[in-house]
Structure formats: C-alpha cells, structure tokens
Amino acid sequence: MKNKPSVLNQPNVITQARYLFSDTEMKVLVFIIKNIQLLLNREGFEHNRTLFGEIDYKIFFHLNDIDEKETNLKRIKTAIKSLRQKDFEIDDGKRWLNVGLINYGEYQYDVKKWELQVSHKLMPYMVDIAKGYTEYQLQTILQLNKHAQRLYMMFSQFHGTGVFNINAEELRFKLALEDKYKKYRDFKNWVIIPAIEDINKLFEQGRSDVCITLKSDKKPRGNEDFDRTLEFRIAYTKRVYKQIEVEKEQYLRYTMNLLRSIFPNDDKYCNKLIGHLVQNKRLKPFGDRLKRIEDEAIETQNSLSYYGGLVRTIAKNDHNFYND
C-alpha cells in the first residue's frame, strides 16, 4: 500500500539544499521519509500537531531495515555522521534558521539497533517531503546516481506546472559543483545531460514517473558563462494516476473484507462506514489502522470479531462516523 502523490507548492528546503548525498546517505534519508509517512498514515495528518511543536522525532531501526543487502556497519556510521553535519538554511522573510537534519545517531552493539533523532525544527519540511513523494518515487530516487537523484527530486516538485526554470550558476551551486566545473559546456555535458538520460531511461522502462527535456539554456549576449536560465520541461506519466486507482481499489477491497470479518452479521454497518470513509477521503488511514488490528489479532490469536467495539470507537472518534 502506497501513499497518494501530491504536488509540492513550494520548493522544499531539503530537496533544494546545496548538497550531494552519497548512495548510503540517500538510503538513510529515504528511510527517514518513509518513517514519517508511516507516522502520518497511522495517526492522520490533522492529529500530528506535535510534529510542529517541541518534540524531536526518534527513529529506531536495524541495519537491514535500511537495505536488506546492507551489511557494512561502518558505511552506515559514515553516512549518519555526514548527514548530521549537513545544515539547512531557511530564510522566508519572516525568520532565518540554520538547522541540522539529525540531532544525533546512536548504535547499540548488544541489540544491533540504531537510534536517530530528527530535529523538530526541520520536521515541517520533512513532512512536506513525506506528503509529496510516493513510495514509487522514493524507489526511483534510489535507482539513480547522485546528480540524477537531486535533479529528479527538484523536477518532481514541478510536474504540476510542467516547467522548471533555474539559473545555471544556482544549479551548479546547489549541486556543490562550483569548484569542479568552470565551463558551462562541461557542466552540461558531464552532469545535466547524463542525469536527464538516466531519468528518461527509467521512464522508458516504466520505473520513473517523469520524463525530462532541457528546452532552453541559451546565454544572453554579454552575460558570464553560467549566467543563463535553464528551462526544463517535465512530462508526468499517466502511469502513476493509473497506479493510484489500483491502490484505491486495493484499499477498498482490503478494508471491506476485514470489516466483514469483524462484523460478520452487520453488512449494513460495514457498507455505511465504507461509504463515509470514501466520501471523506479517510479510507487509507482507516485501512492502515485495521491492518494494525489484524496484526495484533494474529499475534494474540484473537478472533477479529473480538475487536468490534474498538473499531466502532475508532470510526466514531477518529473518523466522525455516527451510525444513526
């Protein structure tokens, strides 16, 4: 079950930051995003005001949670140290803030368990990312190389308009490459074009949701080499929208089947509740809650009908369903 994508209305401080992330750093970052998505799905976004308060968010995991093939403890340590040392700057005219993504990283050797703490100051921006990317998109990011990863994240924020404009010097700066490429031609040929080719190759294979074209990069007469505007055109595949419809159907089928197991003799209640959830766009968070109830039932060997009272309470208190 995956998250519904949404268009990010404003560039996010993380995706637009002046950094390149190593493969392992990106795996950790994507893992953090997925954890925040789970938090939002579990509690319902409107109930997550603490995310914007004074509570730092802790994440616990084992090595293979990041990547089931990952066995190199030192590599993860290096990635977390590097992420902890990266700072992000926010200046929206109302305030200036310089903040780190990770407050600390800790590894317990006896239980082989990691603990990370994400700064509450950065959580609103992490929530934006978690709401803005589907699991499908996050997996796409992990299939790309460093430059293509960053550009894909930037492009994805503008698929709603289909156009992404950025100054060449600004893009080179955001990719932390101002000391490496002195000529725009080299920057274009060694960074931009290969990244676009990587993204479009995945698109052709059905493993990416955007196709990119560099529409214009002409330099105005008299300007410096990097003083030019790059115009990228972004085509967003209908594949994702079809995928969303399939996922909706899966949620609907799963939720209805589980409700009928919990209330085997009350089809009327099940049908009314499903209608309410669909109409109020609450099917996914309710379905996720049912999944946890099902997991508990399996673990405790209780019958699903045992949880009828709890489900009715959840439907009423958390989803405003009143069975009059």
Residue where a domain stops, chosen among 237, 260, 291: 237
Q: Is the same domain home to 10 and 127?
A: yes
Q: Is the same domain home to 198 and 162?
A: yes
| 229 band by pLDDT with thresholds 50, 70 and 90 | very high
Q: Is the same domain home to 71 and 129?
A: yes
- Cβ-based neighbour number of residue 244 at 10 Å: 16
Residue where a domain stops, chosen among 107, 133, 159: 133
- Whether the pTM exceeds 0.75: the reply is no
Residue 323 lies in a domain: no
40-54, 71-85, 273-287: lowest mean pLDDT where? 40-54
How do the residues of the chain divide into helix, strand and coil, expressed in percent and rounded to 5? 55, 15, 30
Q: Is the same domain home to 89 and 181?
A: no
For the chain, the first-to-last Cα distance in angstroms comes to: 31
Q: Is the same domain home to 22 and 101?
A: yes
pLDDT in tens, 116-149: 888 888 887 788 787 777 777 888 888 888 889 8
Burial of residue 45, with CB atoms counted within 10 A of its CB: 0-12 exposed, 13-18 middle, 19 or more buried = middle
Position 197 pLDDT exceeds 90: yes
Which pLDDT does position 217 carry in this prediction?
93
> What CA dihedral angle connects 304, 307, 313 and 314, to 10 degrees?
-50
| 47 band by pLDDT with thresholds 50, 70 and 90 | very low
Residue 324 lies in a domain: no
Which pLDDT does position 1 carry in this prediction?
36
The domain in which residue 212 lies consists of 143-237
Residue 96 lies in a domain: yes
pLDDT in tens, 150-160: 888 888 877 66
Q: Is the same domain home to 230 and 246?
A: no
Task: Please state the domain count of the chain.
Answer: 3
Q: Which residue has the higher pLDDT, 40 or 63?
A: 63
Residue 254 lies in a domain: yes
Position 90 pLDDT exceeds 60: yes
Q: Is the same domain home to 279 and 184?
A: no
220: CATH: 1.10.10.10
Residue 147 lies in a domain: yes
Residue 322 lies in a domain: no
Q: Which residue has the higher pLDDT, 247 or 195?
A: 195
Q: Is the same domain home to 68 and 122?
A: yes
- Cβ-based neighbour number of residue 100 at 10 Å: 16
Which pLDDT does position 45 carry in this prediction?
39
| 227 band by pLDDT with thresholds 50, 70 and 90 | very high
Q: Which of 25, 19, 12, 15 is nearest to 174 (CA)?
A: 19
Residue where a domain stops, chosen among 237, 255, 284: 237
Please state whether beta strands 102-108 and 113-118 pair in parallel, antiparallel, or not at all (unpaired).
antiparallel
Q: Is the same domain home to 267 and 209?
A: no
